[in-house]
């Protein structure tokens, strides 16, 4: 059976996921990456934040959101009164997809639909372990992973929407907030405006947390 399913422990704990993901060969992305990067955060976190994939720094350190985009995300969360240390942060795919170099950094490539589908069992397992109240989806890859290929960030960003049934998750978050990816903020022509828009969206999630 293709995909990660056969590597995912049947009754997972976060520790078990951290260990098991290291052996995953559910798609070809493991081959060019340094290591798998499982989501990270306290058990029972009320909020789960879903990114795209580990970046160059994350691939080296083995931790999600430790590079420039992660620092921006932390600042934005802090600005809306959410302690980043209380958030569970993870990615749609757990291995870094890249090709070629730009200076000393490897050039990130978005995962293909097949990689996203292959890796989905890990996210389902994380949701069953963390059981967050709400989820924040960062950018198009996260949105498509959850809502399907017709997802567009512009159509739902900044308001609470339902977790879709199509994923068959047993413990879905009660609400979802979709927004732009922090690396898109870093690339925007008007970074301050893009940052303010991200913060405005995250404020909606912060207010929904109880
Ligand atoms: N961007 C992501 O989507 N995830 C990370 O972990 C880091 C950067
Ligand atoms: Fe497994 Fe996901 Fe890595 Fe593919 S990207 S090898 S499915 S952990």
Q: Facing residues of 170 across strands?
A: none
What is the pLDDT, as a whole number, of residue 1?
57
Cβ contact 139:180 at 8 Å: yes
148: left (phi over 0), alpha (psi -120 to 50) or beta: left
pLDDT at 170: 87
User: Which ligand has its closest atom nearest to the C-alpha of 90?
Assistant: 1
What's the domain range around 113? 5-208
Q: Which atom of ligand 1 is nearest the CA belonging to 51?
A: 3
- Which candidate, 105, 208, 103, 108, places its Cα nearest to that of 162? 208
Predicted local distance difference test score (pLDDT) of residue 186: 98
Confidence (pLDDT) at 150: 96
Cα-to-centroid distance, 90 and ligand 1 (Å): 8
Closest ligand 2 atom to Cα of 3? 7
Kindly state if the Cβ of 58 falls inside 6 Å of ligand 1.
yes
Give 116 Cα–ligand 2 centroid separation in angstroms: 8
Q: Which ligand is closest to the CA of 57, given by its number? A: 1
Whether the per-residue pLDDT at 20 is higher than 80: the answer is: yes
Which bin fits 149, alpha (ψ -120 to 50), beta or left (φ > 0)?
Answer: alpha
- What CATH number has the domain bearing residue 36? 3.40.470.10
Ligand with minimal distance to 28 CA: 2
Please write the tens of the pLDDT for every residue from 53-90.
999 999 999 999 999 999 999 999 999 999 999 999 99
Residue indicated by tokens 């903020």 = 185
Q: Tens of pLDDT along 101-136?
A: 999 889 999 999 999 999 999 999 999 999 999 999
What is the domain count for the chain?
Answer: 1
């Amino acid at each position: 059976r293709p995909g990660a399913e056969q590597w995912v422990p049947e009754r997972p704990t976060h520790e078990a996921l951290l260990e098991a993901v290291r052996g995953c060969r559910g798609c070809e992305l493991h081959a060019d990456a340094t290591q798998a990067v499982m989501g990270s955060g306290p058990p029972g976190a009320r909020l789960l934040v879903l990114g795209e994939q580990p970046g160059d720094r994350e691939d080296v350190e083995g931790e999600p959101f430790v590079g420039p985009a992660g620092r921006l995300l932390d600042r934005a969360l802090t600005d809306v009164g959410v302690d980043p240390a209380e958030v569970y942060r993870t990615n749609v795919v757990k291995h870094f997809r890249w090709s070629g170099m730009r200076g000393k950094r490897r050039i990130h490539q978005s995962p293909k639909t097949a990689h996203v589908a292959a890796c989905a069992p890990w996210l389902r397992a994380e949701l069953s372990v963390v059981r967050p109240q709400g989820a924040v989806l960062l950018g198009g890859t996260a949105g498509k992973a959850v809502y399907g290929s017709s997802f567009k960030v512009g159509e739902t960003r900044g308001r609470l929407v339902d977790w879709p049934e199509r994923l068959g998750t047993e413990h879905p978050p009660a609400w979802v907030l979709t927004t732009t990816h922090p690396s898109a903020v870093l690339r925007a022509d008007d970074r301050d405006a893009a940052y303010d828009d991200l913060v405005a969206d995250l404020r909606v999630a912060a207010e929904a947390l109880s």
